[in-house]
Every structure is written in structure tokens, then in C-alpha cells.
Structure 1
Amino acid sequence: MKSAFDVKSSRLETLAICLHTADLTELEETLRQRTEQYRDLEIMPFVLDVEDFAQPDDLDIPAVVSLCARYGIQILGLRHSSETWAEAASRCHLVFSSGDKPAEAAALPKPVQEPQPVSATVISNPTVLISTPVRTGQQVYAENGDLIVTGIVSQGAELIADGNIHIYAPMRGRALAGAKGDTNARIFIHSMQAELVSVAGIYRNFEDDLPGHLHKKPVQVSLQDNRLVISAIGDE
């Protein structure tokens, strides 16, 4: 008789909230200000990075976790270089990690709107090349580098990179560059038909067709004065 389940090794990639204050009022104010920007993080598991704090008593961990949850950010783990935080994590029913601290937290815009299985590929190389189509429900994340895609990106697929994203094919899904906050990151698209584009957490949905000079045309997406700009390749 086949067992009801098997236990196998797996790697779960998470994002990190790097906490810099124990002031719950200040934290809530920041969350409130960025509710729209961070609304799409609800599907992502998060680790609370508390490296800025010396002792667990310096921080009301349950209150922080609860506050984040109210704004759709689900904290599953606690990270600190000192093992003294392991017991605090256990009391709060959180996974503890003493791994290296990431450069900064990342924000990812909206997931696929309709419920469906999602397969995620996370790659940690300076430059990642994907030469196959990225299908609906698939997610590719180029960690700490650029992402180059030469296959078609279907509606409902998601491309994420900490650096730039280059798409040399029709782009009908979502592209999120500068995922760890790099405001200099850019997105280059050979045929612009995207559902959403984002740079450093600032994003734009496309519910209506783009102007004719951009729709299905080569475009670049960048930030200028904290504003998302989409322009035809070759434009000033």
C-alpha cells in the first residue's frame, strides 16, 4: 500500500523584511503608506530579519508579526546571526535561520489573478538566460543578477530579477526588475504586451491597450524621479 505522504528535501525561497525599528507606531505608519506598493506580497513567504537588534527582549516579536499580517505580509521565520534568538522564534512558532543577512528587502507586485498552480524557479547567478517559453503560472527569479529571456512569456507568467530584465520575445506576463530596490534597474521588451511591469517595487498594470506606438513594439521601462516611464527603444 502506498504511503499517504513522503518526506523529501526541498528549498523554499523567501523574501526578507529587514526590521530597523521596534516602534510599532512607526512600523505601522510605514506599512500604511506602502499598502498599495506591498499589496502584492500576500502570496510570498517572509523571514523577519532582526539583525539590527541585540537581544530578543529588545523587540515585541509577536506584535510585529501580527502587525505585518494585518497588512498582508505573512512572517514564517526569524533570522539573526546569534543563536540566542532561536528560542524566541520557537515561542512565536517561527522557523529560525542564522543565515547571512540579505542586502535589503524586496517587494514583488501582483501574482496571477486566477487561482492556479504556480511553479517557481529561483536562480542565483550574475546573469540568467532562459531560452524556453515561460508558461502561465510559472515564475522565474534571477537572484542578485540580470534575467534574459528569449522565449515567449505567456499571460499569467512572472519574471523577477534583482537586476535588469531583457525579453527578446512577445511579453504577455509580468516583469519585475530591481526586486531588491535597485532604482537603476531597467526592463527591455522586444514586443510589449505585458500585464504588469515594475522597477524597484513601483509598478503599473495594463488594463487597457497601450498607445499604438508602444503596443507590440520594443520598449524600455525605467524609473525617473520615482515615476515609472515606458518609452519606445531609441526614444530620448
Structure 2
Amino acid sequence: MQRTNKIPQPIEFKGTTLPIVVVTLRSLQADELARAATALFGGSDFFDGDAAVLDLAQLVDVPEPDWRRLKQVFKSHGLNVIGVRGGSEELRYGAAFAGLPTYAVSDRPAAVTAARAATASPPAVVETAATPPAELAAAPAPLVTRTPTQFVNRPLRSGQQVYARGGDLVVLAAVNAGAEVIADGSIHIYAPLRGRALAGAGGATDARILCTRFDAELVSVAGLYRTFDGGVPHALAGRPVQVRLAESVEPDANQLIVEALSTD
């Protein structure tokens, strides 16, 4: 019997669905964007090497940016910028010359509108897209299945970060200043919160942050955040607190509510 050996082909194409992070820019100043991103994510990698597309639709009459520096800003937080969408023809041409092709704008609403401050819009908004731009989509995205609740039993020091991807996070020790806790679901902290807490990181607007002693540096739900650079208000400091979104029917009109939590 003659035996034939199947020789692997040197190239193979397969359709797949890739997670794409869409970053809506309201500025192309690299230093300004770096400050906004650092305020959100600190100095650590928030993303795990995810691909990103820069949305330029909200930019009008802006000078040509340093695309290489822009890519480095997002690379420092774990995002690999692969292209752009929207914006003027001049901006798209400049991006293409810098190696960033243009992707078509999908009519599908974004899953997350992130990085919008409670008092004013910062220069960058991070959106986690449920599916990639039209050119990359090969199949419908599967439904997201939440993972079991993640528990943290040890205090978190400055510079440490815990991310409960796909589920809720329960912290049973202090989150100290400079530390960061992140969850795609809700965050429950049965100890002092002195650092940063970001719930609904995957876009869940029903996520909440609850803690027994509130002294936070920053809190965020589904990308809408509030900082406490000048200190936590007296009515909230050291008290049990709940952080949630008050959703609005108007686009981009959700409000972040930080309120004392009654434990009676």
C-alpha cells in the first residue's frame, strides 16, 4: 500500500472574530492623551496586548499629529494601534502614510463609552467593541459569559493591580493609595478603598462599586469616572459608599452617582 505524506502548505487563511478596542479621540496632542490615559489606567498595562482602532470622527481642524508617539502612548497601556476610522481625508492619509490603514465605520453601536469625566469630556474615550470593524468580521461575536467571582484576600500596595476579567471582584483587604482594582462586573470592597476602582470595564452599565470605607483616588463605572485629587468630600470620607450609573435616554448623558450607603 502506497503511503502519501501530506505536506503542510506554507500559508493558510481562516476566518475569525477578533476583539477590537475603539479609542475615540478628541485631541491628537500626545502629551494630553498620555495624561488622560494615565489618569484612567495608572502606569500599568490595563489591556493585554489588545488591538485598537483610533476613531477620528470628533476631530475638526487639527494639525497633523505625531502618529508614532500616539501609538507609543497607547502601547504603554497594553494597546496595539492597528489603524484608524472616520475623520478627515487629510488625517486618514497621514495615518496611512504612518502605517495605519483606514477601517470602515460600522453602524453597530459601541459597547462601551469610556474615559468621559463626570464634569467634562477628556481628550480620549476608550470603547471596547463587541466585534471588530467590518473588514475583520468573519462570524457573529459569541455572547460574553461571565466568569466566577474573583476574591482578593491580601492588601494591595501602591503599583499593584487586580483585574477580574469577565466577572465580579470581591476585595477583603485594603486597596491602598496607588493600587488599582478593575472588574468587568461589580466591585465589592469590605475594607478601605484608598486607591482606584474601575467597575464595568467591559461596558456593563449596571455594574457598581460598593465599599465599607471610602477614601478613593478614582472611581469609574463603564468608563465614566470621577477623581478625588482634592480629597473625598466630608460627607463620603471614611463611610460606606455605593458608586453607580444613573442612565439617561439622552446619548452621553449618563451620570456617575457616588453616594453614602446606608447599612442600617
How far is the alpha carbon of 1:172 from its aligned partner? Answer: 0.5
Tell whether 2:176 aligns with 1:148: no
Match of 1:72, SS state, is helix
Which structure has greater helix proportion?
Answer: 1
Paired amino acid for 1:229: I
State how far apart, in whole Å, the 2-side matches of 1:136 and 1:37 are.
20
**Retained in 2: the 8 A contact 1:18–1:104?**
no
Which position in structure 2 is the counterpart of 1:229?
Answer: 257
- Which one of the candidate residues 195, 198, 211 is aligned to 2:233? 211
Match of 1:148, SS state, is strand
Match of 1:73, SS state, is helix
**Retained in 2: the 8 A contact 1:18–1:105?**
no
**Retained in 1: the 8 A contact 2:115–2:225?**
no
* TM-score for both structures, normalised by structure 2: 0.51
Q: Which aligned segments of 4 or more residues in structure 1 are displaced greater than 4 angstroms?
A: 33-39, 103-109
The gaps in structure 1 that reach 5 residues or longer are 1-15, 20-26, 51-64, 79-91, 93-102, 110-123
- Which one of the candidate residues 157, 161, 181 is aligned to 1:159? 181
Which position in structure 1 is the counterpart of 2:74?
Answer: 73
Paired amino acid for 1:73: F
Structure number with greater Rg is 2
**Retained in 2: the 8 A contact 1:170–1:193?**
yes
Paired amino acid for 1:227: Q
State how far apart, in whole Å, the 2-side matches of 1:43 and 1:107 are.
18
The gaps in structure 2 that reach 5 residues or longer are 1-18, 54-65, 83-98, 100-109, 117-145, 249-253
Tell whether 2:204 aligns with 1:182: yes
- Which one of the candidate residues 216, 223, 232 is aligned to 1:194? 216
- Which one of the candidate residues 47, 51, 54 is aligned to 2:50? 47
List per-residue Cα deviations over 1:68-97 (Å, max 9, x = no partner).
92693234376xxxxxxxxxxxxx6xxxxx
How many residue pairs match? The answer is 165
State how far apart, in whole Å, the 1-side matches of 2:52 and 2:192 are.
38
CA 17–69 in structure 1, closer or farther in 2 if over 3 Å, else same = farther
**Retained in 2: the 8 A contact 1:160–1:177?**
yes
Q: CA RMSD in A?
A: 3.9
State how far apart, in whole Å, the 1-side matches of 2:178 and 2:227 are.
13
CA 141–152 in structure 1, closer or farther in 2 if over 3 Å, else same = same
